[in-house]
Amino acid sequence: MVANKPISFSDRQNMDNDILSNAILLKVKRLTAASGQMSLPCIPSMIDEYMDQFDRILKSLGQQFTQEEMTALRELVARKLAEGYNQSPHSRIIFKYEPPDPTQGLTSGLKLSVLTEILSVEQKYQRWLTSRQGPLFGSHADAKLMDVVKEFNPPSSAPILDVGAGVGRNTLALARRGHPVDAVELTPEFAQIIAKEAQENQLRVRVIQSNILNPSLQLPQKSYQLVLVSEVISHFRNNQDVRILLGRMCNAIKPGGLLLFNTFLTDPGYEPDNRARELSQVQWSYLITRSEFNSIMAGLPLEILSDESVYEYERSHLPSESWPPTGWFENWSQGRDVFPINNPPISLRWILCRVN
């Protein structure tokens, strides 16, 4: 039988020091408060990356959640991401953490909450009016548009429909040229700006505040010499709505009239995954593959006259003092708001069609 070895004074002192040190650390942990939040775009296919970020935050604060707890958190995040994205691509998911009992600091764990902030296109544009300086969409009309309408003489006999007119940079330029213009605009504040400017300058402009896809919106049939749809399809969410829009425009244009629109198209051979598709909607850059575009156009009475890069055309034809139209236009029109690299596989294209 071996007798227990007596604990030396130095060993006992080390043990006591460890106990005391751990006690101090525990007390400091009780006195440490941690709270914060992360705000992320609602992109459902990014859930793995989001969960990794949340996990790193929790571990950096000394919090160890069980596998069951993390699974429940993932299910909640997935549900909130889907809810937010389905309501609006501009929704945000808010991940919050805070101590359940502030007096206990980090020793009582963290209370987690996951919320969504829903923001519509109209609300985002309303914020622009109070948060952005200078012309919201540029001070000059689209160069491609102004080149196309040169063939319409006299302008007074060539009525034009401007869909998604914004604050009127194209509408007002066309009206000053002498065209009768109908302007459809979704955001009420933008529509009011156009109406006020047109009234003050006695321009032939009729402003229609509405969503162009609203079934109750009645447009004159076979009445317009040209319909412009600039920087509108980039806000869309599915190809069916794009086809509905183009079909309605065909009905509104006179036989032989023109449809000018722009949309983000992918490079040949590029097939976007779900993350790219979802992010393109978040970034107002709704992308369409070339095969999807062909399916959208199939059966419509449209003959494509030209298919050109918006960035290249506008840069070459706008007055030098008007380039770039805005601080965001160059990156956005080249697809860099989705792919911040030198040669993104998407770009904004001008599509000019004749209605047969």
Task: Write the single-letter amino acid at 265.
Answer: L
In this predicted structure, what is the pLDDT of residue 209? 97
Instruction: Give pLDDT, residue 9.
Output: 47
Residue 3's CB is within 10 A of a number of other CB atoms, namely: 5
Given this model, what pLDDT does residue 1 score? 46
Percent of the chain at pLDDT > 70 equals 89
Q: How far apart are CA 131 and CA 128, in angstroms?
A: 5
Distance, CA of 48 to CA of 290 (rounded, Å): 30
Instruction: Indicate whether this model's pTM tops 0.85.
Output: yes
Quick one: pLDDT at residue 213? 96
Q: Compute the distance between CA of residue 21 and CA of residue 192 in angstroms, rounded to an integer.
A: 68
- What pLDDT is recorded for position 121? 77
Residue in the structure block whose two tokens are 């808010």: 94
pLDDT at residue 34 in the model? 65
Biggest CA pair distance of the chain:
117
Encode the chain (356 residues) as per-residue pLDDT tens digits: 455 556 554 555 555 667 877 766 766 666 666 678 999 999 999 999 999 999 999 988 888 889 999 999 999 999 999 999 999 999 999 999 988 776 666 666 788 999 999 988 778 777 777 777 667 777 899 999 999 999 999 999 999 999 999 999 999 999 999 999 999 999 999 999 999 999 999 999 999 999 999 999 999 999 999 999 999 999 999 999 999 999 999 999 999 999 999 999 999 999 999 999 999 999 999 999 999 999 999 999 999 999 999 999 999 999 999 999 999 999 999 999 999 999 999 999 999 999 99
Q: How far apart are CA 314 and CA 227, in angstroms?
A: 19
| Model pLDDT for residues 77-112, shown as the tens digit of each residue | 999 999 999 999 999 999 999 887 766 666 667 889
